[in-house]
Amino acid sequence: MRAGVAFALAAYALYWVVGIVAPQTYRPSFLLLALVLTFLAYPAGSARASHADEGGPGAPPPEAAWRPIHWRALDWGLIALSIVTLAWPIVQGDQFIYRAATPTSVDLALGCALIVVVLEATRRTVGSTLPITAILFLAYAYGGALLDRVGLSLIAHRGYSIERIVGNLYMTLEGILGVPLDVASTYIVLFTIYGAVLERSGAGRFFVEWAMAAIGRSRAGAGPGRTVTLAGYLLGAVSGSGVANTVMLGSVSWPMMRRAGYPPDMAGAILASAGIGAILAPPVMGAAAFLIAEFLNISYFGVVKMAAIPAALYYCSIVVTVEADSRRLALRRSDVPTRSLAAVTRGGWFYFLSIAAILVFMARGSTAFSAVFWATVIAAGASFLSRDHALWPRRLVAALSAGGIGIVPVVATTAAAGIIVGVVTLTGLGLKAASLIVTLAGDHQFLTILYSAAAVWVLGLAVPVTASYIIAAVMVAPALTEVGISPSAAHMFIFYYAVLSEVSPPTALSPFAAAAITGGRPFRTTMLTWKYTIPAFVVPFVFTVSPRGAAVLMQGSAVTVVWVSIVAAAGLALIAAGAGGYVWRRPATTIERAAAIAAGLAVLWLI
C-alpha cells in the first residue's frame, strides 16, 4: 500500500506539470497524499532513522506487523484526520478562503487537528526539534502581550485569538499551505523524482567511475580523494541530498580510499564534505534553493546561475585541501584498476544527457517544472542504452515510488515551517528580529553580516536546512538588506550558512553517516569535515562585504565575473593549503600554515 501511495504522489506531481490544477486544490490534495504516505512509511512504534533534512531521507522503516493494535490504530486515525482536514478545504471551495477571518466551529476544529497532524508527521520524519520550535512560535502568537510584562517589549505584540491564528494558518495560502509547501509540491518533488529515476538507471556508479578515470590517477595518493570530490559534485548535481550523496559515495569509494592509506576519520571527512556540497551544486541543489526563487521572485535558472561559481569554489577548495593532506601524510598511490576516460565515457555518456537537458531547457526560457519533467523523460528513455539498468515498467514504477517516498520528509518540514512563517507574518516578528540584529551591530555592515552568519548557523544546529533557510529568510535577510546588501546576495548568504550548519553537531548527519561507513570516530570525523569546509564559510562574505564580490554570483560584466572568481579561487586555495598543512612543496610549519590562511583571507578581503 505504501508503494502505491508513493507512486500516486509522484504521478500526481508529474500530472500537475501538464495538467491544470488550481493552487487552492493542488496544495491541500498534495499534502493529503504526502501525510497519508508519511504515516504509512513512518509508522508509530517502529524504529525510525533520524533525518536532519531533505538531504538524506534514506529508506523509511519497514512496516512493523508486530506493532501493538493501539499503535496501528493511531496510524490509521492520523491518516483519517489527514484526509478529513485536507478534503474539507477542497470541498468548500472559495467560500473556505473567504471566511478565513471568521472561521466556523468546524473550520476551527479541523484547523487545530491539521496543525497537530503536521507536527506529528514532522516529528516522525525529522525529529522533535522543529515541531517544538513551531509550538513555541504558536505560543508566541497567542501570548505575545505577556512578553511586555517580562521586559521583552521589543518583540511583544497584542496577542491573537485561536480563531485568528488557525484561520491564518489553515484557511489561507500564507500558513501551512503557503510558499514553503508550494515549493515542495512543485519544484522539489519533481527534482526528487528526477534524481530517483536517474539513480535507478545506474548513474551513481557511472559518475564515480568517470571521476576516477578523469582525475583519479596520482603519484601522491590524492587520486581517491580527488575522485570522491568530483564524484560528489556530479552526484550532487542530480540528487540535491547531502546525506544520501555521502552514503552513495562511501559505499562505492571507501574501499578505494582504504587501499590508498586514507585514515578512516580523514576519509569520512572527505566523503562528508563532498556529500554536503550536493545541496550547493547546480542544477538540482537542495530544497532551500528552490525557495530562493520564490522569495526573490526570479526564475530558478537565475538561482542556478548565482550558485554556479560558489559551488565550484567550494569543491575546488576541497580538492586543494585533499591534495595538501595527501602529500603531507605521504599517502600511497591507489592501485585500483580503471579504464581510460574515453572508455568510461563511451559506456555511459547518455547519463549526462538529462543534466544537459535541464540547463538547455531553462536557458531557453522553459520553466524549471517543464525542464525537469522532460529531463526525467529523457533519463528514463536513455536508461535503455544500458543493458543492465533499463527502466522497464516495473523498475520505472519503483523509481517513481522511491521519488514519492523521498519527498515525504521535505513536505513535513515545509508544512511545519509554514506554521512558523505564518506566525512571523502575522505578528511582524521578522522586522523586529531584523531591527534587533542591526541595532546590536550598531548599523555596521560587517558586524551585521557576522551576527547574521552566527544567527543562521545557530538556527541550523536545531532545525533542518530547509526550515533554517525559511526562518532566516523572513527574520535575518531583512537585516542584511537594511544595511545595503542586495536581496540576492542576502538570500544566498543565509542559504550558504543554513547548508554549512550541516557540518556541526547535533545535525551533522553527513559526517556521522560517513564515520559509520569508514569505521571512524564520529566526533573526530566531524571536526575534520570542518577543516575541509572552512574555506566555504568564507565564500558568503566574498559576495556580501564588497560590492565587487557579488561578481561570484554572476552579477556584473563578464570581465569582472572572471577576474573576481580567479582572485577568490586563489584566496581560497591559500586557505585550503594552510588548512591541509602543505605549502611550497613540503609539509608546512604551524607559522607557515597560519601565514597561508592569513594571506588567503587578505586576498579575499581586497576583492
HEC letters along 354-408: HHHHHHHHHHCCCCHHHHHHHHHHHHHHHHHHCCCCCCCHHHHHHHHHHHHHHCH
pLDDT at 91: 94
First vs last C-alpha separation in the chain: 57
Alpha carbon distance 292, 366 (integer Å):
18
Cis bond leading into 506, ω under 30°?
Answer: yes
Task: Find cell 605521504 and name the residue.
Answer: 330
Q: 50, 509 in Cβ contact below 8 A? A: yes
Return the amino acid letter for 574: L
Q: Residue 185: CB partners within 8 Å, gap ≥ 6?
A: 13, 16, 26, 27, 30, 31, 411
In three-state secondary structure terms, 120 is helix
> Do the Cβ atoms of 237 and 211 come closer than 8 Å?
no
CA angle (480 as vertex; 479, 482 as ends), nearest 5? 65
**352-383: per-residue pLDDT in tens?**
999 899 889 988 888 888 999 999 999 999 99
The secondary structure of 35-68 as a DSSP string is HHHHHHHS-TTS------SSS---PPPPP-TTS-
Question: How many residues belong to the chain?
Answer: 607
pLDDT of residue 67: 56
Instruction: Please list, in sequence order, all residues whose beta carbon lies within 8 angstroms of the beta carbon of residue 394, skipping any fewer than 6 positions away.
Output: none
Cell of 50: 533520524
Q: Show the beta-strand stretches assigned E in 558-600.
A: 582-583, 586-587
Average pLDDT, the chain: 86
Query: In the numeric block, which cell numbers belong to residue 62?
Result: 519497514
Residue pair 593/583 in contact (Cβ under 8 Å)? The answer is: yes
Q: CB pairs under 8 A, 24+ apart, for 159-162?
A: 160/426, 160/427, 162/108, 162/112
Rounded (5°) CA angle 478-28-182: 35
List beta partners, residue 582: 587
Beta bridge partner(s), residue 566: none
Cell readout for 533 is: 569546509
Cell match 504521478: residue?
11
CA distance 184 to 154: 33
Q: Report which of 178, 191, 245, 248 is spatially closest to residue 27, judged by C-alpha positions.
A: 178
Phi/psi of residue 443, nearest 5 degrees: 65, 15
| Residue 152 confidence (pLDDT) | 79
Cα distance between residue 568 and residue 562, in whole Å: 10
Say which residues have a Cβ less than 8 Å from residue 352's Cβ, sequence separation at least 6: none
Question: Distance between CA atoms of 407 and 527, rounded to whole angstroms?
Answer: 30
d(CA 530, CA 538): 12
Of 220, 202, 214, 206, nearest to 340 by C-alpha is 214
The answer to whether residue 543 scores a pLDDT higher than 60 is yes
Angle at the Cα of 513 (from 512 to 516), degrees rounded to 5? 90
Q: Other C-beta atoms within 10 Å of 429: how many?
A: 20
Q: What is the 3-state secondary structure (H, E, C) of 429-467?
A: HHHHHHHHHHHHCCCCHHHHHHHHHHHHHHHHHHCCHHH
CA distance 304 to 281: 9
> Would you state the cell numbers that stand for residue 468, as one nine-digit string?
533554517
pLDDT, tens only, 288-314: 888 899 899 998 899 999 999 998 998
Instruction: Give the burial class of 522: count Cβ atoms within 10 A of its Cβ; 0-12 exposed, 13-18 middle, 19 or more buried.
Output: middle
- As a whole number, mean pLDDT of residues 233-246 equals 75
User: 245-254, 485-494, 509-518: which has the highest mean pLDDT?
Assistant: 485-494
Q: Output the pLDDT for position 60.
A: 44
Contacts of 413 (CB under 8 A, 6+ apart): 53, 54, 122, 125, 126, 130, 184, 287, 464, 466, 467
Average pLDDT over residues 214-228: 74
The burial of 587, by beta-carbon neighbours within 10 Å (0-12 exposed, 13-18 middle, 19 or more buried), is given as middle
Which one is predicted more confidently, 413 or 278?
413
**pLDDT at position 219:** 61
Q: In the numeric block, which cell numbers belong to residue 500? A: 554549512
Inform me whether the pLDDT recorded for 78 exceeds 80: yes
Q: Give the range among 232-246, 279-293, 446-460 with minimum mean pLDDT.
A: 232-246
Burial of 161 by CB count in 10 Å (0-12 exposed, 13-18 middle, 19+ buried)?
exposed
How far apart are the C-alpha atoms of 97 and 86, rounded to whole Å?
A: 13
Task: Match 597561508 to its residue by C-alpha cell.
Answer: 596
Contact 465, 243 (CB under 8 A): no
- pLDDT of 447 > 60? The answer is yes
pTM recorded for the entire structure: 0.81
Determine the Cα–Cα distance for residues 218 and 211; give it in Å rounded to an integer. Answer: 13
Cell of 56: 538524506
Amino acid 150 reads: V
pLDDT, residue 213, reads: 83
**Environment class of 436 (CB within 10 Å of its CB; exposed 0-12, middle 13-18, buried 19+):** middle
Q: How far apart are CA 604 and CA 552, in angstroms?
A: 12
- The distance between the two most distant Cα atoms of the chain, rounded to a whole number of Å, is 75
Rounded to an integer, the average pLDDT of 413-419 is 92
Task: Average the pLDDT over 91-111 and give the result.
Answer: 93
Q: How confident is the model at residue 537 (pLDDT cuts 50, 70, 90)?
A: confident
Q: What is the pLDDT of residue 338?
A: 66
pLDDT at 129 over 90: no
CA distance 205 to 211: 10
Q: Is the pLDDT of residue 224 over 90?
A: no
* Cβ contact 89:280 at 8 Å: no
